[in-house]
Amino acid sequence: MSDRFTEKLRQRRRRSRWRIAGVVAAVLALVAAGWAVWFSSLLEARTVEVTGVEHLPAEWVVRSAQVPLGTPVPRIDTDAVAERVATLKPVESVRIERDLPHTIRIVVTERSAVAWVDRSGTPWAVDESGIAYRPLNSRPTHLPRLDVDVDDREVVAAVARVAADIADGDRELLGDTDVIRAETTDSIELALTKRRTVVWGSAEQARPKLAVLRPLLQIKARSYDVSAPERPTTLK
Tens digits of residue pLDDT in 13-69: 666 666 665 665 555 455 444 555 555 568 899 999 999 999 999 999 999 999 999
pLDDT, residue 236, reads 86
Q: Is the pLDDT of residue 7 over 90?
A: no
Separation of alpha carbons 30 and 146, rounded Å: 61
Contact 104, 134 (CB under 8 A): no
Average pLDDT over residues 61-85: 96
Mean pLDDT of 70-76: 94
End-to-end CA distance of the chain: 119
Does residue 74 have a cis bond before it (omega within 30 degrees)?
no
Q: CB-based burial of residue 115 (10 Å sphere; 0-12 exposed, 13-18 middle, 19+ buried)?
A: buried
Beta strands, E only, the chain: 47-51, 91-99, 103-110, 115-119, 122-126, 132-135, 145-147, 177-181, 188-192, 196-201, 223-225, 233-235
Taking residues 199-223, report their average pLDDT.
Answer: 96
Question: For 137-152, what is the mean pLDDT?
Answer: 95
Q: Are 97 and 142 in contact, with CB atoms under 8 Å apart?
A: no
pLDDT of residue 130: 97
Contact 137, 144 (CB under 8 A): no
**Angle subtended at Cα 125 by Cα 147 and Cα 156, rounded to the nearest 5 degrees:** 40
- For residues 134 and 92, what is the distance between their CA atoms, to the nearest angstrom? 12
Residue 98 has pLDDT above 70, yes or no: yes
Q: Poorest-confidence range of 11-20, 109-118, 123-132?
A: 11-20
Q: Quote the percentage of the chain above a pLDDT of 70.
A: 83
- Residue 229 CB-density burial (10 A; 0-12 exposed, 13-18 middle, 19+ buried): buried
Question: Which pLDDT does position 42 carry in this prediction?
Answer: 85
pLDDT at position 25: 57
Query: What's the rounded Cα separation, in Å, for the pair 142 and 174?
Result: 8
**Of residues 2, 4, 22, the one with CA closest to residue 14:** 22
Average pLDDT over residues 87-105: 97
Structural Rg of the chain based on CA atoms:
32
